[in-house]
Amino acid sequence: MKNIIILLILFFQFIHHPSVFADDLNPANTHILNPWYIFFNGYQAYQSNNWETSLSFLEQATDKYILYDYAIYYRASALSNLNRYDEALLYFNKIIKEYPDSPLFPSTILSIGDIFLNTGSYEKAKEYFNMFISRLPSHNEVSQALYKYSISLENTGRHEESQNILKRLYIEYPMDKYTKMIPEPILSADELYNRIQNLFNAREYKAVIKESLFTKQERFLMMSAKSLYYTKAYNEAMEFFKTLLDNTNNNNIKEEIFSWLGKTYSNLNQSEDAVKVYKEYMDTFPDGIYTDELIYRTSIISRESGAEAYALELLNKLANKYPLSKWKDDALWQMAWMHYEKKDYRNTEKYLAHLIASPSDKFRKQALYWYGKVLLKLGSKDKAIDVLKRLYLSETLPSYYGVLAKKILEDMGIKSKDAAINPLSVIGDTQINTTAAEGLDIKRARELISMNLTDLAYLELESVKKKTDLNDFIQTGILFRSIGKLNRCRIIGLYLLKNPSMASENHLFQTVLPHADPVGYKTIVDKITASSLIDPYLVYAVITQESGFNETVISRAGAIGLMQIMPKTGLKIAETLSMDKFQVDDLFLADVNVTMGTTYLKEVTREFNGNIYHALAAYNAGPHMVKAWLKKYNNIDTDEFVENIPYRETRNYVKQVMAAYEIYRYVYNPKSDLGFWGTEGP
């Protein structure tokens, strides 16, 4: 019967893929099946739990085949599923000895451990699970190894060691499925705190709050208060912080509480209370670890409430008394901007010059752009042109401020198509070296992709990603993109852009840029953006900034997926789109998330009359906030409005999305005559 099944498979393969068999039908060949089909059919049979059929194919694989380790692994796994353990161990051990770099090596160790565990050979099982834990401490299956290691220890009479391993599992992997299978151990206060810290680092804030209630120790209450803050339960967080502040005698904790309590008041729009807390801190801890930061925060609140003289006094104090503070450049920028708004361009020029000369480059592009604009206002046109050229020419890729500088230069008759101020035009037609030999890992990944085995291809590509050959690195990104793993493709592109020496030798920017800024979900995006105000490249720029093309990411605030949709927003959009069966978990689905995100972006763009800067700010902070800001800062240029956005996150968000938008339009539509600012000039 088994031979009949194989012959039937061969017949249908020959009918549908006759060319593949052409060489194998040559009398000189010893195998009827092409190696590709040996593995493909063996794997398909394995996936269908047809172990005998799977073995019939996989046992024909030879060590000359590029995926021989895969064939061995699934042959061993099929044997194990048939309880032919001695034969399975023979092939699993072959991988351990001969293929230590195989992506299947970790699974092989676990499989050997499982065989010994299932057959009662606990000493041997213990050896392999311990090998996994010690050799692969960062692997995502360590929790499984710990759980099974504890079982092996228990069955060899090492009860105390077994319990310690279970305790480690409970503390280090608090939300893991294996942790949920074990009884809750008795923990010391320090052990419980370590578990809660791991929950906090995993952004499991509700679990932190729940488990911290078992003790009244300050450090636990502090974790609860922070978790309430991050879940935006600011009123509850405030009460926790106030109670802690009133009861603690620990100055280190007290300093931290002051900082958090002030930020909580700010988020509740209780500015006076925030300033009061910050002033109390500065009086109590004049040389405290948060003093410079809280001076800065107090100055911002004071400026927003109209007390500009006091704000300037504080900023000067910060810049002069704390010259090594990481907040010093922030203070210099705020002073420059406050003088700019008062049209005191000479003082603005002075502070911007300090920022340009700063050892930190945090504000350098920003300072250069506004320095150029100030020089124009002061009538120093030639000097302004030099400054703006300096900004634009310093960039490998366009930044928000570099593109603004380009726009000003173009308006002055200095065209960006002139290579003198358009470095992208110099590198725009370059290509990867297609004649370079591909590494074995890339060939293996291609083979798996040709079978549509994308999960295995992903596993293979993850191992290639760790290597340094440039062409293989580029090809890894291309293959990640081909299997829909755009977030992994983007990571490679960003790495190359941050390490230009690796790419610029071969002039690979035209290949690298599509990695760093990929296009995905095009059918959905094109459908929703058709006949609307939204450019599809803007949608891709938003996805890039929101999630980096990671479909499963969840923010601290609870926003989900590619375009970071809040559950409440998702429910509203679902109602608008008549999606009656919508569930919040649907936001993890790419098509649902992109549909909703693009729809919402289209709505806020329409609400703000096509101004994409206002729309982006609304996408991030909410339309009601943007309307309030526009009311406060009316009749000012767009670039000035962006600088005046009170929320740092939203301000940076608009700048980063617009920079990404320019890159997308360059990479995918290089012949476009559209300027960066469209019809909405700054």
- Is residue 561 a contact partner of residue 551, using CB atoms and an 8 Å limit? yes
Residue type, 676: F
* 434 DSSP assignment: T
546 catalytic residue (yes or no): yes
- Is residue 592 a contact partner of residue 564, using CB atoms and an 8 Å limit? no
- Is residue 245 a contact partner of residue 261, using CB atoms and an 8 Å limit? yes
490-499 burial: b if 16+ Cβ within 10 Å, else e: bbbbbbbbee
Cβ-based burial of 278 (10 A; exposed 0-12, middle 13-18, buried ≥19): buried
- Is residue 642 a contact partner of residue 651, using CB atoms and an 8 Å limit? yes
Rounded to whole angstroms, the Cα distance separating 156 from 455 reads: 37
Annotate 490-554 with DSSP letters as a single string. Answer: HHHHHHHHH-HHHHHTTT-HHHHHHHHS----HHHHHHHHTTSS--HHHHHHHHHHHHTT-TT-B
* 583 DSSP assignment: -
Give the count of beta carbons closer than 10 Å to the beta carbon of residue 72. Answer: 24
Longest alpha-carbon distance in the chain: 94
Rounded to whole angstroms, the Cα distance separating 268 from 241 reads: 14
Rounded to whole angstroms, the Cα distance separating 556 from 561 reads: 12
Cβ-based burial of 208 (10 A; exposed 0-12, middle 13-18, buried ≥19): buried
**Helix%, strand%, coil% for the chain, nearest 5:** 70, 0, 30
Residue 548, by phi and psi: left (phi above 0), alpha (psi -120 to 50) or beta? left
- Consecutive H or E run containing 456: helix 454-464
The angle formed by the CA atoms of residues 255, 258 and 260, to the nearest 5 degrees, is 110
Q: In this structure, is the dihedral angle defined by the CA atoms of residues 660, 666, 667 and 669, taken in order, positive or negative?
A: positive
CA 539 distance to own-chain centroid: 17
Residue 465 in 3-state DSSP?
Answer: coil
Catalytic, out of 447, 546, 643, 662: 546
Which residues, 6+ apart, have CB-to-CB distance to 8 below 8 Å? none
- Residue (of 480, 474, 469, 410) closest to 675 by Cα position: 410
Rounded to whole angstroms, the Cα distance separating 657 from 675 reads: 15
Q: Which residue's structure tokens are 């194990």?
A: 80
Which residues, 6+ apart, have CB-to-CB distance to 30 below 8 Å? none
Rounded to whole angstroms, the Cα distance separating 590 from 578 reads: 18
- Residue (of 672, 639, 649) closest to 537 by Cα position: 672
Catalytic residues: 546
